[in-house]
Structure 1
Amino acid sequence: MKKTICELFAGVGGFRLGFERANSNWETVWFSQWEPGARTQWANQCYVEHFGNSLDMNGEIHTGEDISVVDKNNIPDHTLLVGGFPCQDYSVAQSLSSSKGIEGKKGVLWWQIRDVIEAKKPAFCIFENVDRLLKSPAKQRGRDFGIILSCLNGLGYSAEWRVVNAAEYGAAQRRRRVFIFAYRNDTQYAESMNKYTELAMINTDGFMAQAFPIEQIEECFEGELLDDLIEMTDKFSFDFKPAGIMRNGKIYTNKVVPVLEKPILLGEILQSDVDENFYISSEKMSKWTYLKGAKKINRVSKTGHEYVFSEGPVGFPDSWDKPGRTMLTSESTLNRSTHVVSDPKTGKLRTLTPIEAERLQGFDDDWTNTGMPTRMRFFCMGNALVVPMITRMAKVLDKIIDEEQ
């Protein structure tokens, strides 16, 4: 089986870089990266700067276009489909024309992934999302993730998932994301997994257990998907835990405890004596102090209900002897979530540099230094994934591919 990849919602190439670092000859045959509403497609340009562009099966370039208008049949065949997609409302409804069956909400990018799977039938898939996907929406917990699993089940796939805190597996950032591994039920890998119980798969023998080892658990909570997506939208709710598998429409899940690895500490990735633009001015210090501090604020809801909004303090500055906090797309702007550190040489407080942001995500220094504005470098890193987590999964998948014909 060829080691070929299609990368959707590619950003600046975290999935691709992670697989290339495995040094096992994976080839990305096509990618797609398009930022809605952006005048300049900075992430796409960064990706092309590092890896070059990709032609579709007609010899045309459509990698920087809205994926919803791309003909999925023209995407080159591939063994592995990867992508990080937004956490959205995945509910479906009956279409006006009964001949069309069901329709997902326009603009929801999961349906583009489903369409690619349906058109190209990759043997394996790896997807990344925020961990709240398992609990959304708030009024019908687990429905959206259940719909994704139901789609995969209907297309002939089984799936595993795991919520991973990257710092617990040796990275520099306490970033929690859910990874989903799906495999087609007619692969040799699927057949080999049939000999294992669901508990054994979660504990030791499944894909996620090999990529992200855990302490042994003794039981699974079980559930079952409903018959179709309309029913899933209207009725399904389930308490998905951070680890689990789905096969033949049945769900097995539980909480897990990682086998901890030594993380990279924030102090280890800091530069010294950086450009003055990153230092906090005395005029803005009081604002930073307020944003980072504890608060209790009287508020009134839309319905007239009075309540007290409260939040605890954030480390100010961030501690050198811990991994970084989760980086958001707003990193470097004046807000509560932005990292503030004391510079190793000057001791003065400042925000992170773009290189430090890249190090938090495990990218090479100056990865985003491809002509984009500094603010966009932080935005792209806030949208990115932790590259070493991808390399861990790539090494497990290497062994699986070796067994396929």
Structure 2
Amino acid sequence: MKKVTVIELFAGVGGFRLGLEAGQDYEVVWSNQWEPSTKKQHASLVYEARFGTKNHSNADISEVPTADIPDADMLVGGFPCQDYSVASTLQNAKGLIGKKGVLWWSIHRILSEKKHPPKYLFLENVDRLLKSPSGQRGRDFAIMLKSLEGLGYAVEWRVINAADYGMPQRRRRIFFIGYHKSTPAHAALLKTGGKDWLHTTGVFARAFPVLEISTKTKAFSIAQDLVGLSENFNLGQQASPFENSGVFVGGHVHTEKTQADHQGERTVLGDILETGNVPEAFFVSPDDYPKWDYLKGAKKEVRTAKNGFEYHYTEGAMVFPDALDKPSRTIITGEGGKSPSRFKHVVAHKKRLRRLTPVELERLNMFPDNHTQLQGISNAKRAFFMGNALVVGVVARTAKALYDLMQRYS
């Protein structure tokens, strides 16, 4: 079987590409990375330094004509989590009008305008996508599923915590795969049914096994059009109908709350720490220890809002310094910089405390050492990249299982 050609959107510093190309089965033929809030395109510069400038676009994807994007077997990307509501449909046209700047609709536009659309989709987002917005739990995900169905795709999804499968960071993200109706895999999913697909047959079942017992199982249809879903889906309900695993095919949802089943090796925070000399800049000044202690500690205090309103504030203590015998907490974009913070990682090192280095943050996302090192890129910016990145190992395992499925149903 020839290599699977890939379009990579919202590429960041290339986590999807690293995972896909870890084997020999995939080839990224066109990529796009654009950061609207910065003049200098740091992530795109890192991407080009690692993968070359050929067939890489550093332009606002919403402004890139579909004709400029080559055909490919698969489209991948970790798109921003936004408000996916639908304002209205276009009469006598395939397009949709969502809120301006919502990049999901750029994916939708590309798929709808392609004469030969990708046969497979592999997308990633934060897991709150299944529960947003707060007034219509699950509405945004229902809109996405229904819009993909309108473009000819069935979908399977799974919320994966990388640490549940032996990886070094507790990072929980939703991944979903779309199968175009022209593929044998689509027909197989329709025939197999949700439960067997989620537990034994599907891509995520093969890549990330689950226990046979599901704590919650639901089945329902999504029948309304996109505007109806936008206005009425799950209106006023306390909980989302979507569990952490599911399939959507033929207008029907089968969704279950599954539990990870991993018996293999596990990597912990202590395993990824650098063993050589760490620059002094990463060590915490003893003068700042009280600030770190306060921010990491439990609190039960009265605070005053800007408008003068007094309120009781409580929060629990965090493990401080971070435990070395467990996977790390989730990296956030504010991980860099010296200032004390509740959420930054701090480890004990030779009877002193220090923050994590850029290489250690890369290792927690399973990137190669110094992948983000480039002249003009600060350590804080490198930490920001990793706060936005995905765990490469999750992509690599999913990609292998997806390729095997393509061969199985070819």
Deviation, structure 1 residue 155: 0.7
> Quick one: distance in 2 between partners of 1:8 and 1:14?
11
Deviation, structure 1 residue 404: 5.9
Match of 2:347 among 341, 345, 348: 341
Percent identity between the aligned chains?
A: 45
1:49 aligns with 2:49: yes
Q: Tell me, what secondary structure is at the counterpart of 1:268?
A: helix
1:33 aligns with 2:33: yes
Whether the 8 Å contact between 1:90 and 1:144 is mirrored in structure 2 is: yes
> Quick one: distance in 2 between partners of 1:91 and 1:302?
32
Deviation, structure 1 residue 74: 1.6
Q: 1:79-132 CA deviation, whole Å, 9 max, x = no partner?
A: 11100012111001126x756674101111111111122123110001111111
Q: 1:270-321 CA deviation, whole Å, 9 max, x = no partner?
A: 1143000000012221111111111123356799976422111111100000
Q: Which position in structure 1 is the counterpart of 2:268?
A: 265
Whether the 8 Å contact between 1:168 and 1:262 is mirrored in structure 2 is: no
Mapping 1:4-403, distance limit 5 Å? 4-24=5-25, 26-55=26-55, 63-94=57-88, 98=91, 102-120=96-114, 121-217=117-213, 220-237=217-234, 238-260=240-262, 261-272=264-275, 273-299=277-303, 307-333=311-337, 334-343=340-349, 346-371=350-375, 372-403=377-408
> Quick one: distance in 1 between partners of 2:353 and 2:191?
56
> Quick one: distance in 2 between partners of 1:262 and 1:98?
55
Structure 1 stretch 364-373 or stretch 191-200: which is displaced more?
Answer: 191-200
TM-score by length of 2: 0.92
TM-score by length of 1: 0.93
Structure 1 stretch 8-17 or stretch 325-334: which is displaced more?
Answer: 325-334
> Counterpart amino acid of 2:108?
R
Deviation, structure 1 residue 10: 0.3
Whether the 8 Å contact between 1:362 and 1:387 is mirrored in structure 2 is: yes
Whether the 8 Å contact between 1:203 and 1:217 is mirrored in structure 2 is: no
Deviation, structure 1 residue 226: 3.2
> Quick one: distance in 2 between partners of 1:182 and 1:21?
21
> Counterpart amino acid of 2:312?
V
Q: Tell me, what secondary structure is at the counterpart of 1:177?
A: strand
Q: 1:304 to 1:288 in 2, by over 3 A?
A: closer
> Counterpart amino acid of 2:5?
T
Whether the 8 Å contact between 2:133 and 2:140 is mirrored in structure 1 is: yes
**Structure 1 runs not aligned, ≥5 long:** 56-60
> Quick one: distance in 1 between partners of 2:405 and 2:68?
27
Q: 1:228 to 1:300 in 2, by over 3 A?
A: farther
> Quick one: distance in 2 between partners of 1:404 and 1:46?
37
Q: 1:173-192 CA deviation, whole Å, 9 max, x = no partner?
A: 00000001111012011122
Q: Tell me, what secondary structure is at the counterpart of 2:210?
A: coil
> Quick one: distance in 2 between partners of 1:127 and 1:93?
24
Structure 1 stretch 199-208 or stretch 188-197: which is displaced more?
Answer: 188-197
> Quick one: distance in 1 between partners of 2:208 and 2:320?
32
> Quick one: distance in 1 between partners of 2:289 and 2:309?
34
Q: Tell me, what secondary structure is at the counterpart of 1:257?
A: coil
Whether the 8 Å contact between 2:84 and 2:104 is mirrored in structure 1 is: yes
Aligned-residue Cα RMSD (Å) equals: 1.9
Structure 1 stretch 227-236 or stretch 296-305: which is displaced more?
Answer: 296-305
Q: 1:147-205 CA deviation, whole Å, 9 max, x = no partner?
A: 11111111111001101010111210000000011110120111222331211111111
Q: Which position in structure 2 is the counterpart of 1:58?
A: none
**Structure 2 runs not aligned, ≥5 long:** 235-239
Whether the 8 Å contact between 1:266 and 1:320 is mirrored in structure 2 is: yes
